[in-house]
Amino acid sequence: MKETAASFIAKSTVRAADLEHRRKINFNIGRYNAAVPQGKTQFSNVMQARENAKNLKWRAIETLDQQLEAFEKNITARGAKVIWAEDTAEALYEIGRICNAKQCRTVVKSKSMVTEEIHLNHFLEQQGIESIETDLGEYIQQLDGEPPYHIVTPAMHKSKEDVARLFADKLGVAPGLSPEQLTLIARQKLRDKYIEAEVGVTGANFIIADTGAIAITENEGNARLSCAWPKTHIVIVGIEKVIPSLQDLALFWPLLSTYGTGQKVTAYNTIVAGPRQPGETDGPEEMYVILLDNGRTNLLQNPATREALYCIRCGACLNACPVYKNIGGHSYETTYSGPIGKVITPHLRGMNDYKHLSYASSLCGNCTEVCPVRINLHELLLENRHEAVENGNSTLAERIAWKMWKQASLNRKMMNLANGNLKNKVVNKIFKGWTQHRSELHFSPKTFNEMWREKHSAAK
């Protein structure tokens, strides 16, 4: 616990003082903020659309077992194989088993946060299998040896000059190329890998229960190529991504694109309902869908935190968060950063080790305000803090301090007695947790209660 918290504080302290980083991320988020209002114009009542989406996700999560069983039944009827993975180890074992059976040497992978969650690329490299990120942002990050910086925009913290230098260094191309030239170079290299790959791996934006299909939305077409060209298609997806009906996509796809990138709809929207069928000429010969738990049922079993599973991974809360905009995505040292990451990571990876993330918030509520499915993110951060204390994941000094504060707050005489210097000494000198990373607190010499009484006594 101390190690992860200390590392987070150290990295966030350094990053918050990096003015060049702040310039880059504010520039990119500024472009996002300019685009989102345009995307919202497609909704006659955007608040009603968000409320409808929340209700649909409520239904899906409250009946999650039934929805997933219906999905399994319907997609297996079309020849796909469904594998249930309780944790990272099981998911990686199954992927390794499939790749070995196919004598796989090259995997092409479209953008997927779940594969980042289980560290799939590292696992495949250990197996002697080349794993290639085909999303341009993810490809840039892979070349640089970094994890994604943002849920939707993996290389948001890099400028076009940064990318040009990276390509020149890693790929040996001419320095100072334009974004268009860099994109063409990446496209050519990736197309060669699609032809070589025996296995394609994708995530899924949604699992459609009544149809038995997965839905993918993207802007580059790399997911379509990853699941269509190789002979074997592996889908790895979190169990919370389920929606009840194919008709629900008419709401969720526009919401995801609007709040994710500001578009009314993304360029490529694909529904995959199994491997190649008899009489079809395109698609993989085999399709596997791995349904991953990996701590999600920890959120599911707690009614207070269950709504965190409504998240559609649009990244809007990251772009709105004043903390994220200052410390950046890598400071969190987790797969999921920003407000949603602070809410779910302690449940996915352990409250004792990651409770500190829930305190890295101003509780301004901006994340809740922008969430397309209206998750009460700031309230869930408070719930995490409460759960951490209830489970004993707090220091003795912290418990004593709050007990003293509670006793004093319930006693007016004690509140008035400990004014000015005494309060300053207790908070700033004795309990140093506040001033360790903040400026000192300076309490008023008199409480409002005392000043009120003095004012009205003088009036008499």
Mean pLDDT score of the chain? 93
**pLDDT truncated to tens, each residue of the chain (460 aa)?**
567 889 999 999 999 999 999 999 999 999 999 999 999 999 999 999 999 999 999 999 999 999 999 999 999 999 999 999 999 999 999 999 999 999 999 999 999 999 999 999 999 999 999 999 999 999 999 999 999 999 999 999 999 999 999 999 999 999 999 999 999 999 999 999 999 999 999 999 999 999 999 999 999 999 999 999 999 999 999 999 999 999 999 999 999 999 999 999 999 999 999 999 999 988 999 999 999 999 999 999 999 999 999 999 999 999 999 999 999 999 999 999 999 999 999 999 999 899 999 999 999 999 999 999 999 999 999 999 999 988 877 778 778 878 888 888 888 888 787 676 777 887 787 777 777 777 888 888 888 888 898 888 876 6
Placement of tokens 């100072």 in the chain: 176
Give the predicted TM-score (pTM) of the model: 0.91
Q: Are 205 and 261 in contact (CB under 8 A)?
A: no
pLDDT in tens, 306-349: 999 999 999 999 999 999 999 999 999 999 999 999 999 999 99
Type of residue at 67: Q
User: What are 445-453's contacts with CB under 8 Å, separation 24+?
Assistant: 445/419, 445/420, 446/419, 446/420, 447/415, 447/416, 447/419, 449/412, 449/415, 449/416, 450/416, 450/419
Q: What angle do CA 151, 156, 160 make, to 5 degrees?
A: 150
**Rounded CA separation 412/30 (Å):** 48
Homologous superfamily assigned to 42-294: NagB/RpiA/CoA transferase-like (3.40.50.10420)
**Rounded CA separation 172/165 (Å):** 10
* All CATH 3.40.50.10420 domain ranges in the chain, comma separated: 42-294
pLDDT in tens, 378-415: 999 999 999 998 887 777 877 887 888 888 888 888 87
